[in-house]
Amino acid sequence: MKTLTVSVVTPDGPVLEDSYDMVSVRAESGELGILPGHIPLVAPLTISAVRLKKEGNTDLVAVSGGFLEVRPDKVTILAQAAEKPSEIDVDRAKSAKQRAEQRLNVTKSDEVDFNRAKLALNRAINRIDIADQ
């Protein structure tokens, strides 16, 4: 059976490179399922879980947005930050969540800080969810 080589890369270096049967991502346009032989594609990703399927198992990676590039035999994910579940520090994510929630409560009048805090909150919730699965 054909497989896809999947690379997840951040500015700090590679997070994962392996072969999988299928990749599911949440792009800004919606959920995408990528199988070997998919047409070339570039899509922006949301703060979400990347699901990598191989022989009945699913590996997860938390991504903080970024881009998906698909070629027929290769999927590359470029993200500002990405972690496997075992790499996630849940206490750190819980602290980040709390900080973001406090900012959202006090800075409702400042749109820039509000959006920044909302993104930080989404990253923290995403990490907590993925570490828990």
Residues in contact with ligand ATP by CB under 6 A are 12, 64, 81, 83, 87-89, 92-93, 96, 120, 123, 127
For residue 33, the one-letter residue type is G
User: Minimum distance from CB of 120 to ligand ATP (Å)?
Assistant: 5
User: Minimum distance from CB of 78 to ligand ATP (Å)?
Assistant: 14
Query: Residue 78 or 120: which CB sits closer to ligand ATP?
Result: 120
Query: Residue 89 or 110: which CB sits closer to ligand ATP?
Result: 89
3-state secondary structure the chain: CCCEEEEEEECCEEEEEEEECEEEEEECCEEEEECCCCCCEEEEECEEEEEEEECCEEEEEEEECCEEEEECCEEEEECCCEECHHHCCHHHHHHHHHHHHHHHHHCCCCHHHHHHHHHHHHHHHHHHHHHCC
Query: Residue 4 or 15: which CB sits closer to ligand ATP?
Result: 15
User: Minimum distance from CB of 69 to ligand ATP (Å)?
Assistant: 20
The position carrying tokens 């930050």 is 81
Give me 131's structure tokens. Answer: 């570490």
User: Minimum distance from CB of 43 to ligand ATP (Å)?
Assistant: 20
Query: Residue 20 or 83: which CB sits closer to ligand ATP?
Result: 83
